[in-house]
Amino acid sequence: MPSPFKTQQTAPLADKRPVSDTRHGITRTDDYAWLRADNWQEVFKDTSVLDADIRAHLEAENAYQDALMADTKDLQKVLFEEMKGRIKEDDSAVPSPDGPWAYGSSYKKGGQQPRFERMPRDKTAEALRDQRTIILDGDEEAEGKAYFRISAADHSPDHSKLLWGYDDKGSEFFRLRVRDLETLADSDDDIADTVGGGVWDAACEGVFYAKLDANHRPSKLYYHKLGTQQSEDRLIFEEPDAGFFMGAGGSRLNDFVYINIHDHETSEYLLLRADDPLAAPVLVAKRETGVEYEMDSGGDVFFILTNADGAKDFKIMTAPVDAPQKENWTELVAHKPGRLILSVQAYANFVVWLERENGLPRIVVKDRASGEEHAIAFEEEAYSLGLAGSYEYDTDVIRFSYSSMTTPSQVFDYDMRTRERALLKTQEVPSGHDPDDYVTRRILAPSHDGAQVPVTLLHRKDTPLDGSAPCLLYGYGSYGISIPASFNTNCLSLADRGFVYAIAHIRGGKDKGFAWYEDGKRAAKQNTFKDFVAVARHLAAEKYTSADRIVAQGGSAGGMLMGAVANMAPDAFGGIIAEVAFVDVLNTMLDDTLPLTPPEWPEWGNPIASPDDYRTIAAYSPYDNVTKAAYPSILAVAGLTDPRVTYWEPAKWIAKLRALNPEAGPFLLQTHMDSGHGGASGRFSRLEEIAFGYAFALKVTGSAGQ
């Protein structure tokens, strides 16, 4: 297929300024290391200090991609209006009861940001509309800001105050404020450089929060007493190991504050009594490499979800509240290989957990008195199930959500005692949606070693499956994250234009249990990439599409996947979209000053300390393995203030691809100069970004005129 990209504008060629590095007797030369700003910490907080040469290059790349995509401007507008038309603009969440109030969120027509609200409990829908109070208006707070994101809006246990957080740079240095829920005025309390949320003490006189250091790592837990300056805050706990994340959480009973320390394979909890905020934290179980646990307070006992003692797919234990140490743990729900327990919640009369078996989720409810169990499940071939639970502890009613690729999201209240479910809300699609017009399927694709990779498909009933249909193939495959088969109104714009929309549930996620994750990390990471290529080839072989009509898409670690498969099998794809792409894996894992590097070593390996890890990462790191090849068209997206995947990773990757392959591609780089990892913060601005990516997919496959 001839290239659909035509422009008179010359592609930017980045200067080569070689920098050599020798590790474990191996010397590598990086021609584009200069694109990494030495003052990146300052840039996260003030983009005006970015080096002039770097800014000039990024702006040249933006101008180039803008020129190549200029003929899709009208298409982007059409796609945006379609996707916007499927959103109920003045949508609202079902309020969740807590004591005398119910708390919820909504959007106003045309609004970009959510509004948080509360209303008297147990009123009719008509009365709620009249009696609700907007306690935080995101649109008002965002006014005049290029970027704005609310991270939290947590009411105090006595319902008198609201702790809320925001980021107005995209760098995820969140600021916390405290609002009086009677006057709706913010106090003078102003807490900077946090992870975005906090936990109230029992008396509602102060909050616990984790503070980020200069390298964007949460290593210190502070207690802030209301009415004081942040400089006076009390240091409660400090985690000295830069390889671990640290955060705080609260219990449903408001009796404990959990200090959670973890990396991607090991965890440790310390406990604080919420009514004694300055007491020394109590250790639950000392960290052991590879052992994870999390806990929820159940009055006289803790319920503990753990993989200890070889329980690879997790089991549930209990421990006395006054003696929660590991030697006092007692098994409640045994480990069952292949049944992955994802989360557990405790209530006065029941304990509830979410599990996944054979790729499908279900909710299990256990009566604490009788021990009787029952499950909540659905019959579709592929679906998504979410357990929202409840604010309240002494309740028999929990909330959950359900959807599938064809079924709009539904929200239910479920009475655990009577086993009755009440449908509270079905997602509205204002422009119309008929599930019968679409087909969703779960198929299996054989990988290189015989592993059967699940694939979720969505397409219109009338889409010809003779190899002519274009396909967008999405993948992630890292950190044990599973991609749900949930309803997504945006992808209908592709399905309605004849696309097959596919999700590859590759190794590195937990879609088929914990072993599926382990078989796609560190030394086994190549399985992730080979699975994705195998899915692409299977879809073509089975005539769902053809190789030159497949556009692969992934973001963050999924962007690393995109870079790896581009090197491994460029002939398997007609185009690739790599968003905030983690493509410079080796250099990043060698730079222990970057925010996420030490905590990421358990996932990828530590190439500083281990020659084997160095060679493993060097063998697949997308940037290091770019060669001269017939690469397909590639769109890379970056955020200048992104602390997770720094902007220079995709910038370096595109520069190297273009230098080695001037006749291939083309290679496009779009850098958002005023946002970070999550892209635009407003709901409609985000739709514009999705429309841009979809326009690229349509153009690459020759479908832009549809």
Between β-strands 96-98 and 26-30, what pairing exists: parallel, antiparallel or unpaired? unpaired
In sequence order, which residues have a C-beta less than 8 Å from that of residue 46 and are 6 or more positions away?
none
**447 closest CA partner among 530, 515, 526, 552:** 530
Cα 624 to Cα 562: distance, rounded to the nearest angstrom:
14
**Cβ-contact 223, 180 below 8 angstroms:** no
In sequence order, which residues have a C-beta less than 8 Å from that of residue 33 and are 6 or more positions away?
17, 19, 587, 652
Question: What is the rounded average pLDDT for all residues in the chain?
Answer: 95
Cα 484 to Cα 486: distance, rounded to the nearest angstrom:
5
Edge-to-edge strands, sheet with 410-415: 384-389, 397-403, 410-415, 421-426
DSSP 506: -
Percent of the chain's residues with pLDDT above 90:
90
77, containing H or E segment = helix 73-85
Edge-to-edge strands, sheet with 301-306: 293-298, 301-306, 315-320, 330-333
pLDDT of residue 122: 78
Which residue spans of the chain are classified as CATH 2.130.10.120? 293-427
Residue 441, CB-side half-sphere exposure with 13 Å CA sphere: 12
pLDDT of residue 678: 66
pLDDT of residue 123: 65
**In angstroms, how far is the first alpha carbon of the chain from the final one?**
18
**Cβ-contact 89, 110 below 8 angstroms:** yes
pLDDT of residue 9: 82
pLDDT of residue 680: 64
Q: Which token pair is 26?
A: 């191996």
Residue indicated by tokens 């609700």: 132
Cα 342 to Cα 307: distance, rounded to the nearest angstrom:
11
Per residue in 358-367, pLDDT (tens digit) is: 888 999 999 9
493: helix, strand or coil: helix
pLDDT of residue 679: 60
pLDDT of 355 > 80? The answer is: yes
pLDDT of 129 > 80? The answer is: no
Cα 402 to Cα 176: distance, rounded to the nearest angstrom:
33
Identity of the residue numbered 402: Y
Percent of the chain's residues with pLDDT above 70:
98
Averaged over 309-323, what is the pLDDT? 97
pLDDT of 604 > 70? The answer is: yes
**Cβ-contact 147, 154 below 8 angstroms:** no
**Cβ-contact 409, 401 below 8 angstroms:** yes
Per residue in 371-412, pLDDT (tens digit) is: 999 999 888 888 999 999 999 999 999 999 999 999 999 999
**Cβ-contact 455, 444 below 8 angstroms:** yes
**Which residues does the annotation mark as catalytic?**
556, 642, 677
pLDDT of residue 381: 86
**Cβ-contact 375, 414 below 8 angstroms:** no
Phi, psi for residue 33 in degrees, rounded to 5 = -60, -25
- How many Cβ atoms from other residues are within 10 Å of residue 570's Cβ? 17
Binning pLDDT at 50, 70 and 90, where does residue 687 land?
A: very high
Cα 46 to Cα 169: distance, rounded to the nearest angstrom:
8
441: helix, strand or coil: strand
Residue indicated by tokens 């159940």: 298
In sequence order, which residues have a C-beta less than 8 Å from that of residue 165 and are 6 or more positions away?
150, 151, 152, 174, 175, 176, 177, 194, 196, 197, 198
- How many Cβ atoms from other residues are within 10 Å of residue 56's Cβ? 12
**Greatest distance between any 2 Cα atoms in the chain:** 75
pLDDT of residue 567: 98
**Cβ-contact 337, 344 below 8 angstroms:** no
526-541 vs 611-620: helix crossing angle, rounded to 10: 20
456: helix, strand or coil: strand
Cα 551 to Cα 1: distance, rounded to the nearest angstrom:
14
> Among the listed ranges 26-30, 288-292, 420-424, 639-643, which one has the minimum average pLDDT value?
639-643
Per residue in 469-497, pLDDT (tens digit) is: 999 999 999 999 999 999 999 999 999 99
**226 closest CA partner among 137, 158, 135:** 158
Between β-strands 115-120 and 293-298, what pairing exists: parallel, antiparallel or unpaired? unpaired
pLDDT of residue 252: 95
Which residue spans of the chain are classified as CATH 3.40.50.1820? 44-84+432-584+622-700
Phi, psi for residue 421 in degrees, rounded to 5 = -115, 140
**164 closest CA partner among 89, 236, 103:** 103
How far from 704 is each of 493, 548, 697, 699, CA to CA, in Å? 12, 15, 8, 5
Averaged over 319-338, what is the pLDDT? 97
Averaged over 37-60, what is the pLDDT? 94
| Dihedral sign computed on CA atoms, order 442, 446, 447, 452 | positive
Cα 566 to Cα 667: distance, rounded to the nearest angstrom:
12
**Cβ-contact 462, 496 below 8 angstroms:** no
Looking at the chain, the number of H-run helices and the number of E-run strands are: 14, 38
**Cβ-contact 209, 194 below 8 angstroms:** yes
More confident residue, 568 or 594: 568
- How many Cβ atoms from other residues are within 10 Å of residue 430's Cβ? 12
- Respond yes or no on whether the N-terminal peptide bond of residue 662 is cis (omega within 30° of 0): no
Cα 367 to Cα 431: distance, rounded to the nearest angstrom:
43
Per residue in 251-266, pLDDT (tens digit) is: 999 999 999 999 999 9
- How many Cβ atoms from other residues are within 10 Å of residue 673's Cβ? 17
Q: Which CATH architecture has domain 293-427?
A: 7 Propeller (2.130)
Cα 650 to Cα 384: distance, rounded to the nearest angstrom:
32
pLDDT of 125 > 70? The answer is: no
**481 closest CA partner among 554, 412, 537, 533:** 554
Averaged over 217-239, what is the pLDDT? 96
Binning pLDDT at 50, 70 and 90, where does residue 218 land?
A: very high
Angle, CA of 107, 112 and 118, to the nearest 5°: 30
pTM for the structure as a whole: 0.92
> Among the listed ranges 20-29, 63-72, 678-687, which one has the minimum average pLDDT value?
678-687
Averaged over 601-607, what is the pLDDT? 96
pLDDT of 128 > 70? The answer is: no
In sequence order, which residues have a C-beta less than 8 Å from that of residue 108 and are 6 or more positions away?
89, 90, 115, 139
Is CATH 3.40.50.1820 what the domain over 44-84+432-584+622-700 is classified as, yes or no?
Answer: yes
**133 closest CA partner among 155, 117, 147:** 117
pLDDT of residue 672: 93
More confident residue, 706 or 187: 187
* SS (HEC) of 5-54: CCCCCCCCCCCCCCEEEEECCEEEEECCHHHCCCCHHHHHHCHHHCCHHH
pLDDT of residue 131: 81
pLDDT of residue 342: 97
Between β-strands 633-639 and 667-672, what pairing exists: parallel, antiparallel or unpaired? parallel
Phi, psi for residue 587 in degrees, rounded to 5 = -60, -40
pLDDT of residue 214: 83
Phi, psi for residue 514 in degrees, rounded to 5 = -65, -35
- Long-range CB pairs of 458-464 (<8 Å, 24+ gap) are 458/405, 458/406, 458/491, 458/495, 458/500, 458/501, 458/502, 459/495, 459/499, 459/500, 459/501, 459/544, 460/495, 460/496, 460/498, 461/436, 461/437, 463/495, 463/498, 463/499, 463/500
Q: Which token pair is 310?
A: 């070889």
Averaged over 646-650, what is the pLDDT? 96
**Cβ-contact 363, 352 below 8 angstroms:** yes
